[in-house]
Structure 1
Amino acid sequence: MRIAIAGAGAMGSRIGLMLHETGNEVILIDRWPEHIEAIRKNGLIGEFDDRKIVAQLPIYSPEEIIEEHETVDLIVALTKSMQLEQMFHDIQPIIGSKTFVFCLLNGLGHEETLAKFVPKENIIFGTTTWTAGLAGPGHAKLVGSGSIEMENLAPSGKAFTLEVLEVFQNARLNPIYSQNVRYSIWKKACINGTLNGLCTILDCNIAEFGSLTVAREMIEAIVAEFAAVADAEQIHLDHSEMIDAIEATYDPQTQGLHFPSMYQDLIRNQRKTEIDYINGAVWRKGQLAGINTPYCAFLTQLIHGKEELLKAK
């Protein structure tokens, strides 16, 4: 299969490498000049648990995608949420009438963005538990294992989605065909909607947040808002299940010592966050449905205020 990875950072590097190793024709697309230069010069270095590989993969900036490039069978979307629309605007030359998009972004609201560029029948949504990191430009550290859940957005897309499932299975990416991927996306967004913003504002890791006497009250309020808005979209989030899933992350032996991605983006690297696609999306959707979401609204405003103070870019 001819596959483009749109957003070839840490996770894009992992998925691209694993698909490449099993004979797929993979191209990488990214905006980081140093990353592009390093891969063109030295190849993409992947450090797995038990091995190290170097793959000579073609990589382009979105602006370098031109009409002479052939269309691809599949685009795996792994940009930051706020970069998604501009990315797909720039890479339209490789999007054909039969090109599918597999969206693995965190957050909510990406369906509306992607539908501007491909028919809904050509959209696959998913979530992943794989992790990845970058040791530097062109150098991915890929430890641990994970899985990928996927489901076609429209019934007519199921046949191709099952082809993608087989390709990902051959690449040992542990895919699962879901009967309700939208629930999984909302569940993950709800977990992120508590831990990401609160750890960022409070300047703490997950275990430190969990130790606070006010932690339970805050997560209950945010979960209630996510659940109310999800119900309006015919997605049922069980309050107790969500709170248990969030509190399970507090353990220092598992995820507790981890600083969420939003913290890393904003506090460590002064980068703008994806808050508008997590709590901000619930706030917007709540307004449309007539549902009050004061915690999500205030947390969205706090993060944007912090972005301004830190001059995030």
Structure 2
Amino acid sequence: MSDDPILIWGAGAIGGIIGAYLARAGHAVHMVDIVPEHVEAMRTSGLHIEGPVKTFTQVLPASTPQELTGRYSRIILAVKAHITEAALDMLIPHLAEGGYVVSAQNGLNERTIAARIGAENTVGCFVNYGADWLEPGRILFGNRAAVAVGELDGQITDRARDVHALLSVLEPEAVLTDNIWGYLWGKMGYGSLLFCTALTPDSMSDAMARPEHREVYARLGHEVMTLAAAEGVTPLGFNGFDPDAFRRADRAAIDASMDKMVAHNRKTAKTHSGIWRDLAVRKRRTEVDAQIGIMVELGRAHGVDVSAIARMVELIHDIEEGRRPQSAELVTEMLPICT
């Protein structure tokens, strides 16, 4: 076990759980977070992980970005997608020469990171477990789900094996893959459906189970999977999501896939998405532009019709700005452009 500490930048739902599990297993970690009260809790009373997966408390070395000193060869970036650039501004001075950054985030943030520090210093990562930051020092671990790691160029390297071994502490079935972009684009398709559920006050399962709205979910998934094909990527499925069904717009196969996703999400203590939580509970901007807005730009570049995605982004903005409340009617409004 290396004595070189792993720097985890962002100790929220994803990063907090990774850090707590690694430290509990004896790995040296150092946490960074912008919330001073959360940092103080982690290094004094400890970070409390709770929920059906595991309940424990772990004291962790932690700093705010302003307090952090030193350079690290292994950094796990676990901030919201739209904060990636700002986090990199603060993080890069702490990246040791020859070191690398692992993107444990939602979206295609590996593109942003590689543009700043080089693809050779960037490792791809996919996480789908359910978690929520509840308050300083408390994180809900709602359910286990797919985790994968891989190099951006598809090679299986020693460092990818090392990162895989670390993530296997948290998720024993974590995958070391030669197609990390396939996982990331699969998550983009799945994520588009989760953003749609957040238009409503319903849980993820209840929203996706509504038969009158299935056409909207089918169209959103189809648009993202069509973009993936235009990018030359073969998306991979996970936890019920079937990329090929959505790409082919096969309604019977899409319904079967969505029924599996509904069943998967019925088993988690995290009933609503993090997007819903940002809108309904924390009353703050979501990751919609950094995650889904990029699909609109790619649609223009490839000449792919992404009108459903574009409309959903507009509706999320309406909720963020207080112009519209969350309502199932917002999904109903999307039906005319999805049929």
TM-score by length of 1: 0.87
What is the SS of the residue equivalent to 1:98?
Answer: strand
Name structure 1 gaps, 5 residues minimum: none
1:275 counterpart (284, 288, 297)? 288
Tell me whether 138-147 or 29-38 shows the greater mean CA deviation. 138-147
SS in 1 for 2:129: coil
Structure 2: stretches of 5+ with no match in the other structure: 235-242, 325-339
Q: Write out per-residue CA displacement over residues 125-155 of structure 1, whole angstroms, 9 at most, x where no aligned residue.
A: 1212333334431123435444521101136
Aligned to 2:40: 37
Instruction: Find the aligned partners of 2:70 and 2:24 in 1 and give their Cα distance.
Output: 21
- 1:24 equivalent to 2:27? Answer yes
Amino acid at match of 2:94: I
What residue number does 1:106 align with? 106
* Equivalences, count: 306
Match of 1:292 among 289, 298, 305: 305
- Structure-1 residue corresponding to 2:208: 210
1:159-174 to 2 correspondence within 5 Å?
159-169=158-168, 173-174=172-173
| SS of match in other structure, 2:185 | helix
Shift of 1:71: 1.8
Whole-Å separation in 1 of the counterparts to 2:168 and 2:292: 33
Q: Which amino acid aligns with 2:121?
A: N
Separation (CA, whole Å) in 2 of partners of 1:190 and 1:50:
26
- Give yes or no for the alignment of 1:304 onto 2:317: yes
Report Cα offsets for 1:178-199 as digits up to 9, x if no partner: 1212111111221120232x22
TM-score by length of 2: 0.81
How far does residue 157 in structure 1 lie from its aligned partner after superposition?
7.2
Dislocated runs of 4+, deviation >6 Å: none
* Distance in 2 separating the partners of 1:10 and 1:200: 18
Does the C-alpha gap of structure 1 residues 144 and 61 become closer, same or farther in structure 2, counting only changes over 3 Å? same
Q: Matched residue of 1:258: which SS? A: coil
Query: 1:47-126 to 2 correspondence within 5 Å?
Result: 47=50, 52-65=55-68, 69-108=69-108, 110-126=109-125
CA offsets per residue over residues 235-269 of structure 1, 9 Å max, x none? 24412566543332334743699222211111222
Aligned letter for 2:89?
H
Contact 1:71 1:99 in 2 (8 A): no
- Relative to 1, partners in 2 of residues 1:181 and 1:112: Cα closer, same or farther, differing over 3 Å? closer
Equivalent residue, structure 2, for 1:153: 152
Cα pair 1:45 1:138 within 8 Å, conserved:
yes
Query: Which residue identity does 2:141 align to in structure 1?
Result: L
Over 3 Å counting, the alpha-carbon distance change for 1:260 and 1:45 in structure 2 is closer
Asked if 2 retains the 8 angstrom alpha-carbon contact of 1:207 and 1:257, the reply is no
Counterparts of residues 175-254 of structure 1 (less than 5 Å): 175-196=174-195, 198-236=196-234, 237-238=243-244, 239=246, 240=250, 244-251=256-263, 253-254=266-267
Distance 1:300 1:147, change over 3 A: closer
The 8 Å contact of residues 47 and 140 in structure 1, kept in 2 or not, is answered as: yes
Shift of 1:217: 1.1
Shift of 1:171: 5.8
Counterpart residue type for residue 308 of structure 2: Y
Identical positions, percent:
23
CA RMSD in angstroms comes to: 2.7
Task: State the Cα distance separating 1:121 from its structure 2 match.
Answer: 1.2
Aligned equivalents of 1:14 and 1:243: distance in 2?
33
